[in-house]
Amino acid sequence: MSNPVKVNPDLQKEREKCTFNVIELTNVIDGGPQKTEERKKREEMVFKEGIHIDEVPSDYLSHKEKYELAIKKACLLFKMMRRLQEEENAGMENYMALLGGTLGSAILGDGSPLTLHYVMFIPTLMGQGTVEQQAYWIGRAFNLNIIGTYAQTELGHGTFIRGLETTATYDASTKEFVLHSPTLTAYKWWPGGLAHTANYCVVMAQLYTQGKCHGIHPFIVQLRDEETHMPLPGIKVGEIGAKLGMNGTNNGFLGFDHVRIPREHMLMKNSKVLEDGTYVNVTSSKLTYGTMMFVRVMLVHDVCNYMAKAVTIATRYSAVRRQSQLRPDEPEPQILDYVTQQHKLLIGTASVHAFRLCAGWLWDMYNNVTAELESGDLERLPELHALSCCLKAIATSDAAACVERCRLACGGHGYMLASNLPLMYGLVTAACTYEGENTVMLLQTARYLVKAWHQSGAALPPTVAYLARARDTRLTHSQPWRNELDAIVDGFQRIAAGKIALCVAQIEKRQKSGMPYEDAWNMTSVQLTSASEAHCRAFILSSFQKETEKLVKTVSAPLRIVLLQLVELYAVYWALQCVGDLLRFSSISERDIEGLQNWYEDLLFKLRPNAVGLVDAFDIRDEILRSALGAYDGRAYERLMEEAMKSPLNAEPVNQSFQKYLKPFMQGKL
Amino acid sequence: MSNPVKVNPDLQKEREKCTFNVIELTNVIDGGPQKTEERKKREEMVFKEGIHIDEVPSDYLSHKEKYELAIKKACLLFKMMRRLQEEENAGMENYMALLGGTLGSAILGDGSPLTLHYVMFIPTLMGQGTVEQQAYWIGRAFNLNIIGTYAQTELGHGTFIRGLETTATYDASTKEFVLHSPTLTAYKWWPGGLAHTANYCVVMAQLYTQGKCHGIHPFIVQLRDEETHMPLPGIKVGEIGAKLGMNGTNNGFLGFDHVRIPREHMLMKNSKVLEDGTYVNVTSSKLTYGTMMFVRVMLVHDVCNYMAKAVTIATRYSAVRRQSQLRPDEPEPQILDYVTQQHKLLIGTASVHAFRLCAGWLWDMYNNVTAELESGDLERLPELHALSCCLKAIATSDAAACVERCRLACGGHGYMLASNLPLMYGLVTAACTYEGENTVMLLQTARYLVKAWHQSGAALPPTVAYLARARDTRLTHSQPWRNELDAIVDGFQRIAAGKIALCVAQIEKRQKSGMPYEDAWNMTSVQLTSASEAHCRAFILSSFQKETEKLVKTVSAPLRIVLLQLVELYAVYWALQCVGDLLRFSSISERDIEGLQNWYEDLLFKLRPNAVGLVDAFDIRDEILRSALGAYDGRAYERLMEEAMKSPLNAEPVNQSFQKYLKPFMQGKL
């Protein structure tokens, strides 16, 4: 970390008292020194082009100008990528790093209209097209001769895919499909880039042939003329309007009025419609779980980036900001010295490590299960599905809460867009809804857990094996509680098992009183989401502990101490959050709770000197943070003023509205 | 409620099954049928002028255009008010209704640059000016010949007023004060209207005279020329930049370079500087608590409006939205039929009533205490201060959580600005920070509670009398738990008392181990905020219960049932949220908890048919809701599409960026 400009002296002091080697931790996070070096080189290469620099920050632009800037930047970014790939002979990896990671979002800001082309359109062609279709489409898409998107969600239908209304009816006489939107609620709604950017689209529609519906299938539809970009006849396309965030993504709507496409435009790798209209189904529907799970696994990884950025900003600012008094006759302390502030921030730092390691574990499991799938083994699919659902829900909601807590911890200045925290919240909270709404996700995991509860111990896969153990001992609380990490992890498994047991009993009781199973399930669903969350927390805690224990074997002693403190902090924090559940389902006592509380306060005290070092280790460049409050040099106040001066309102001492409205109004002449 | 347009049939059915008279509840909320009528008349009068109608929704404007629109609307609104006052001979009441309440914010949208003129500038002149100063300034301010604001917060200093850096140094030789900003962090930062709107300002500054600092005092400073609106010499003024919300408020910064003002511009009602520079202090500093407490009491009332709006939008949308399957072979159910959805929404409805009644109670107390103050009786001031601090914190954070939960409960469509939920969140979350940051507020209440704990029972005022009771019985859990309202209220008081007792013990223990009191306090502060929150929840529950019991004596039997169900729901919801605390500090058992859970599910089931009726009773006009999802007619999808079509991007089928960037890029020519 070079340090050419003057660093705020408070921040400098924080760095001097850090007890571990920051670069060592950065290397651990990146996956080794070489990975760190590669990342830094890639960042250097990208930022020296200056595409990320806005003359006027996009916060000040109109909605339309924001889109136009997003298009310009996306084009320049991909042009640069083409050039770098030619120069460096790099592969797809760079594309992905730019699009998915912090680097891409740093340059594109509030979303890009081309993202779905890469992350959905091309992958769908690859995954669902026949070899011939791939040969025809993928080259054109990859060279960006055409720009595509992926349209599934409709105005009236989201998570429940079977409810989609758009139809694709096969007409054997012309060998065409007729795409149609029978109602307003059938309009496609939300796809990124759909509004004014894409000229092609994969459309998910109910397939009708020979008078029968065969469910949802993918079709390639041309939306706009390749030369003029005008919408084609029968295509009603536009944008859905302004949103809380992602105002660069150009989300669109799409309606069809009997639009005809050739039979070959149905993507036919998995199912076919023959020329005469005969429907042929090729593969198991279970295989389509794959993409959904992939996206959810990626999401868990993504939200770590948001948390790391937010906690970097808030921690550095808390070292710089001085406020109020702790002790009489002393100067105002750094707000980081308030224990309530440490309570808000250090759990964020610990969460980044917890979710990062869980995401890594899940990624390995995903790869294993996918490999097994290809050899026809579906056994671990339900376990992976259940785990990816609840982790998606908990990771996104914890991350959103973390970003918002960091924003509020920065006081009024966190409310400024210049802090970058509001924009980040807008992006991260969206993930609570897309790719499976969080409550729905938790209930999917609950279904799996209830099923697992009824299975014998031997049949239970590893991540739910604790259910069998708990089933036998849960009522006796046989083990005495100890204020130790293992006891907390065990306690959380008891909570999860205990809650599932209660749900199962509740559902059975309701059924016995004459309620249909579905109603009994619904009536118990608040408790079911809570059981599902407890399962997820038990998993996160346990894998954070196990993965860290492996990790610390490879690091220096000073770093080992800090990493283990973070695991403890995370576990004790959640034990205190869930103390009622522990009282219900473990043998913890009131005296133990007071001990936990002191343990927690002691951990905050021990981690306090390393607070800044820990976020420095995330090694997020200023160009990626984009925050006046969180820059490496800690010049928060100077940067706030510099950012304020960029407001177009400050370009003129007197705004035109004074002459037009205010003065006549003040003179009673309006 | 007139009903000229077609109402969504699902919503219609909901209204038909409501068990109570909606208008009766509306009257109860307004404070009587006549108040309802007056409100409706006022709304009718204001909205028929059409000032609230935007050609292009402000969501699509640039930051600068948003300000210009805000100025235009504020001027038109006040012009209308002048006219109506002349026509109707109405008093200040209408002004206040327009500025503070839902009506004003419905018209002004995202804040107004003139609000601080009315709610801070004029009141400060009235409260802190001498009779002569009032005679000189108030007429000009009231007729809007001058526009003012109030500048206290600085770039480097917020809640801790003593830390402010701006100086006002008296120069006896010229009989002037010299205003100066010695550092960048001394710049005033945040005042609404300061940037480009106000030409005068009350500035809070450290008063220096005869070489001595006398602390913070108010000064009137002219900022801009009355004719040209140009900033005066030595005045550095501008806007602070874009924010998460309130982008119409024109928040500004202000720096002084040795700016001279006449001695008479110090507001001298409470303290004076004589011509020769002698400082004369007139009144007790305790009296200045008054304004702060007034604003906090008002805030508790305000946030009820946000919750009522959010829960109206989300409940109506949940009646209209159909999704997924509850039972096989049945059509998609209204999402309001999912118990998890009822869990998210009905607590919002109950919270509106809880906080509304608490705010009313607090308002009465405020008026009593203020009257006592004027007769020199300061006895209840600390109790009121403690109560207003924690209620400010809990009301604003609960309201922000409620709005956000409602937004997420609307799925993807809640993310659209057309739902109005994101804008509302931006406004309500700001209240967690301004007028006293919430953690600071909770710690102020905690200080009072710790002090009260040490007092004898007889000396304790009513709202903390339970401390003495609990002090004697808390360790024995003498009373057996019953699943009844009274037991829950009692349980929450035991929690509060138990947590305060633990904090006191903890602090004493730390002091005995040699820690200074201030450090022991800081070390215990996470627990102290939790004790303070528990005290507040005990108060809210207890006054919600008591006030409702009074209220239901005056209403019809069907309404009585529903109002009591809401109190039960609120109490049981919070009992379940805090079940760990109940296990620690009351005699509740595992079996009781299962009973509470069933009680809760039973209440959701009973309240479900009245969900829509309950929000209809808030009687919030569509023009105030401003939401495509929440309108009275339930035409959510049609309105979403209508709103989308207002996006300027949809005015052209092809955006100019296609020719400029996208096409050359696709052809490899960029």
The string of DSSP codes covering A286-351 is GGGHHHHHHHHHHHHHHHHHHHHHHHHHHHHHHHH-B-S-SSTTSPPPBGGGSHHHHHHHHHHHHH
Contact A563, A24 (CB under 8 A): no
Q: How confident is the model at residue A2 (pLDDT cuts 50, 70, 90)?
A: very low
Pick B241's closest partner by Cβ from A153, A187, A644. A644
Q: What is the pLDDT of residues B358-390, one digit of tens each?
A: 999 999 999 999 888 888 888 899 999 999 999
Q: Distance between CA atoms of B453 and B469, rounded to whole angstroms?
A: 11
Reduced 3-state DSSP string for A260-271: EEEHHHECCCCE
- Give me the residues of B, 21-50, that contact A with CB < 8 A: none
- Contact state of A75 with B665 under an 8 Å Cβ cutoff: yes
Q: Is B429 annotated as a binding residue?
A: no
Backbone angles phi, psi at B243, to 5 degrees: -130, 170
Please count the other Cβ atoms lying within 10 Å of the Cβ belonging to residue B366: 19
Classify burial at A371, counting beta carbons within 10 Å of its beta carbon; exposed 0-12, middle 13-18, buried 19 or more: exposed
Q: How confident is the model at residue A286 (pLDDT cuts 50, 70, 90)?
A: low
Residue B461, min C-alpha distance to chain A (Å): 29
Classify burial at B514, counting beta carbons within 10 Å of its beta carbon; exposed 0-12, middle 13-18, buried 19 or more: exposed
Query: In A, which residues are within 8 Å of B141 by CB distance?
Result: none
Helices H, strands E: what count in chain A? 26, 11
Of the candidates A433, A496, A442, which has an alpha carbon nearest to the alpha carbon of residue A470?
Answer: A496
- Contact state of B670 with A322 under an 8 Å Cβ cutoff: no
Predicted local distance difference test score (pLDDT) of residue A519: 96
Please count the other Cβ atoms lying within 10 Å of the Cβ belonging to residue B619: 22
Q: Distance between CA atoms of A439 and A150, rounded to whole angstroms?
A: 24
Tokens 């992958």, located at residue: A123
Residue A165, min C-alpha distance to chain B (Å): 12
Contact A318, A409 (CB under 8 A): yes
Pick B655's closest partner by Cβ from A196, A244, A525. A196
Predicted local distance difference test score (pLDDT) of residue B475: 47
DSSP assignment, residue A102? H
- Contact state of A324 with B160 under an 8 Å Cβ cutoff: yes
Residue A659, min C-alpha distance to chain B (Å): 9
Q: What is the pLDDT of residues A50-75, one digit of tens each?
A: 888 888 899 999 999 999 999 999 99
CATH 1.20.140.10 residue ranges of chain B are: 1-30+287-652
- Contact state of A323 with B158 under an 8 Å Cβ cutoff: yes
Question: What is the mean predicted confidence (pLDDT) over A413-419?
Answer: 98
Q: What is the radius of gyration, based on Cα positions, of chain B?
A: 27
Chain A: residue nearest B327 by CA? A518
Question: So what CATH class is B1-30+287-652?
Answer: mainly alpha
- Contact state of B230 with A653 under an 8 Å Cβ cutoff: yes
- Residue A148 pairs in a beta bridge with A200
- Residue A203 pairs in a beta bridge with A151, A219
Q: What's the token pair of residue B585?
A: 């500090």
Q: Which residues of A134-162 are buried (b: 16+ CB within 10 A; e: fewer)?
A: beebeeebeebebbbbbbbbbbbbbbeee
Q: What's the token pair of residue B206?
A: 């450290």
Of the candidates A169, A181, A149, A126, which has an alpha carbon nearest to the alpha carbon of residue A261?
Answer: A169
- Which of the residues B372, B435, B437, B623 is marked catalytic? B435
Q: Which residues contact A403 (CB under 8 A, 6 or more apart)?
A: A306, A307, A310, A421, A424, A425, A428
Classify burial at A670, counting beta carbons within 10 Å of its beta carbon; exposed 0-12, middle 13-18, buried 19 or more: middle
pTM: 0.96
Profile chain B (670 residues) by mean pLDDT over runs of 10 residues. Answer: 74 98 98 94 88 90 96 89 72 55 75 88 92 94 93 91 95 98 98 97 97 96 97 98 95 98 96 96 66 84 95 98 89 96 98 97 92 86 95 98 98 97 96 95 97 88 90 64 94 95 97 97 98 98 97 97 98 97 94 96 98 98 96 98 97 96 90
Tokens 């920065």, located at residue: A410
- Contact state of B433 with A443 under an 8 Å Cβ cutoff: no
Chain B: residue nearest A661 by CA? B72
Q: Distance between CA atoms of B441 and B202, rounded to whole angstroms?
A: 25
Pick A647's closest partner by Cβ from B61, B63, B326. B63
- Choose the weakest-confidence range: A185-194, A261-270, A294-303, A635-644: A294-303
Crossing angle of helices B438-453/B525-551, nearest 10°?
90
Length of chain B as a residue count = 670
Contact B455, B379 (CB under 8 A): no
Q: How confident is the model at residue A475 (pLDDT cuts 50, 70, 90)?
A: very low
- Contact state of A661 with B75 under an 8 Å Cβ cutoff: yes
Q: What's the token pair of residue A269?
A: 């790798």
Whether the complex's predicted ipTM is more than 0.90 is answered with yes
Query: In B, which residues are within 8 Å of A446 by CB distance?
Result: none
Chain B: residue nearest A628 by CA? B241
Q: Which residues contact A174 (CB under 8 A, 6 or more apart)?
A: A260
Q: What is the pLDDT of residues A83-134, one digit of tens each?
A: 877 776 655 455 555 655 667 777 887 888 998 998 889 989 998 999 999 9
Residue B43, min C-alpha distance to chain A (Å): 23
Interface test with B, best of A196, A197, A646 (most B CBs within 10 A): A196
Question: What is the mean predicted confidence (pLDDT) over A337-351?
Answer: 98
Predicted local distance difference test score (pLDDT) of residue B458: 82
- Contact state of B323 with A638 under an 8 Å Cβ cutoff: no
**B459, HSE (Cβ side, Cα atoms, 13 Å):** 8
Interface test with B, best of A339, A576, A603 (most B CBs within 10 A): A339
Chain A: residue nearest B69 by CA? A657
Q: Which residues of A2-13 are buried (b: 16+ CB within 10 A; e: fewer)?
A: eeeeebbebbee
Q: What's the token pair of residue A52?
A: 């990320």
- Give the homologous superfamily in CATH for domain A149-283: Butyryl-CoA Dehydrogenase, subunit A, domain 2 (2.40.110.10)
Tokens 């200080």, located at residue: B447
For A22, A240, B291, B292, B375, the CA distances from B295, given in Å and listed in that order, are: 46, 39, 6, 5, 22
Predicted local distance difference test score (pLDDT) of residue B517: 96
Predicted local distance difference test score (pLDDT) of residue A479: 73
Residue A159, min C-alpha distance to chain B (Å): 8
Question: What is the mean predicted confidence (pLDDT) over A442-458?
Answer: 93
For residues B319, B322, B326 and B329, what is the CA-based torsion angle, rounded to 10 degrees? 130
Predicted local distance difference test score (pLDDT) of residue B1: 44
Helices H, strands E: what count in chain B? 26, 11
Q: Is A412 annotated as a binding residue?
A: no
Predicted local distance difference test score (pLDDT) of residue B545: 98
- Contact state of B525 with A187 under an 8 Å Cβ cutoff: no
Predicted local distance difference test score (pLDDT) of residue A4: 58
- Contact state of B240 with A640 under an 8 Å Cβ cutoff: yes
- Give me the residues of A, 318-337, that contact B with CB < 8 A: 321-328, 332, 337
CA angle, A23 then A81 then A227, to 5°: 155
A277 touches chain B (CB under 8 A): no
Q: Report the relative pairing of strands B279-281 and A252-256 from DSSP bridges.
A: unpaired
B177 touches chain A (CB under 8 A): no
Backbone angles phi, psi at A598, to 5 degrees: -70, -35
Backbone angles phi, psi at A224, to 5 degrees: -135, 150
Pick B67's closest partner by Cβ from A195, A527, A655. A655
Question: So what CATH class is B117-283?
Answer: mainly beta
- Which of the residues A435, A437, A601, A638 is marked catalytic? A435
Q: Is A435 a catalytic residue?
A: yes
Chain B: residue nearest A235 by CA? B653
